[in-house]
Amino acid sequence: MKTVKTSSNINYTRRKFLGSSAILTGGLLLAKQQSWAAAFTELAKGQQYKVAVVDLMILKRQKLGAFQLTKDIGADGVEVDMGGLGNRVTFDNQLAQPEIRQQFLDKAKELNLEICSLAMTGFFAQSFAKRDGVDRMVQDCIDTMKAMNVKVAFLPLGVNSDLTKNPELCPAVVERLKLIGPKAEAADVIIGIETSLSATDEAKLLNEVGSPAIQSYFNFANAWDNGRDICEELKILGKKRICQIHCTNTDGVWLQNDPKVDLKKIKKTLDKMKWSGWLVIGRSRDAKDPRNVKWNFGANAAYLKSIFQS
């Protein structure tokens, strides 16, 4: 199984670094945020850490317009949703149509953006442990990943398969992940699961599944909500078990204004682990105007880049 990696940090000149920092600082003080997206345009390629947004959370679920909005926000890429699930036999996935899929790939290339992952967010509301037809749903995602050359998929266990509240579901979840693992390995992709478990318990779960293609899609908010030390959780899971990171907290304030958040400490931990990959923004929206997408996601993208791409 190949490991998904990004290359090492690009080199700055002192002038470029100071210029980008100045633009960022000024942008955070201006209501129009006119310079945030431009401040880091040259920094995306070659970074140890890249920053993405979730198309669902920028209100562009599996819509072509998500790419231009992502560019305007100043992120390096976007996590594209597989579409709604509900009572359907599989996801409402428009990307299964070759012409639609090509439009997405062409737009990403045009705007110099990447699709960092596909997301099976339908499982937030549906039970991965109990729902019939899970094999087909995940296979459809894997097929779309192969067709689009996307290496990571997000699989949340959600409310109905919450293993902290419903530990009796753990054997069923493990069994299903064991069936999915070999399929993902054969396709050379990774399925990143999000659970409510502590890092210790999640590591045990992953060890029981026993596939390098089933990894942790780590969520900062889960750790903060449960009073856990993020840096310790990251170290327990280790570099090889973490495929991607949802790097925001629950809504209320931006990352830079959140007293729970110490991104500099987190970066030091990840640096020491030699981890590299995508930091994906989902929330941390300011409660004063949570639906103002550019304002909220632009601020969080700029702040993340000021820490992780400096």
- CATH number of the domain within which 32 lies: 3.20.20.150
Res. 26: pLDDT tops 60: no
Q: How confident is the model at residue 25 (pLDDT cuts 50, 70, 90)?
A: very low
Question: What pLDDT was estimated at residue 44?
Answer: 52
Q: Which domain holds residue 121?
A: 14-308
- pTM reported for the whole predicted model: 0.85
Count of domains observed in the chain: 1
From CA 37, how far away is CA 130, in angstroms rounded? 43
The verdict on residue 3 lying in a domain is no
Q: In 10 A of CB 59, how many CB atoms?
A: 12
**Contact call for residues 248 and 258 (beta carbons, < 8 A):** no
The verdict on residue 8 lying in a domain is no
From CA 21, how far away is CA 91, in angstroms rounded? 42
Question: What pLDDT was estimated at residue 172?
Answer: 97
Q: What is the DSSP letter of 7?
A: -
What are phi and psi for residue 155, nearest 5 degrees? Answer: -125, 100
Res. 31: pLDDT tops 80: no
Residues in CB range of 179: below 8 A, 6 or more apart? 135
- Note the Cα 230 to chain centre separation in Å: 16
Percentages of the chain per state (helix, strand, coil), in multiples of 5 = 45, 15, 40
Q: How confident is the model at residue 3 (pLDDT cuts 50, 70, 90)?
A: very low
Both tokens assigned to 277: 């990959």
- Element at 231 (helix H, strand E): helix 230-237
From CA 244, how far away is CA 160, in angstroms rounded? 23
Question: What pLDDT was estimated at residue 38?
Answer: 44
The verdict on residue 253 lying in a domain is yes
The verdict on residue 189 lying in a domain is yes
The verdict on residue 5 lying in a domain is no
The verdict on residue 200 lying in a domain is yes
Question: What pLDDT was estimated at residue 70?
Answer: 98
Of 9-13, 84-88, 161-165, 232-236, give the range with the top mean pLDDT: 232-236
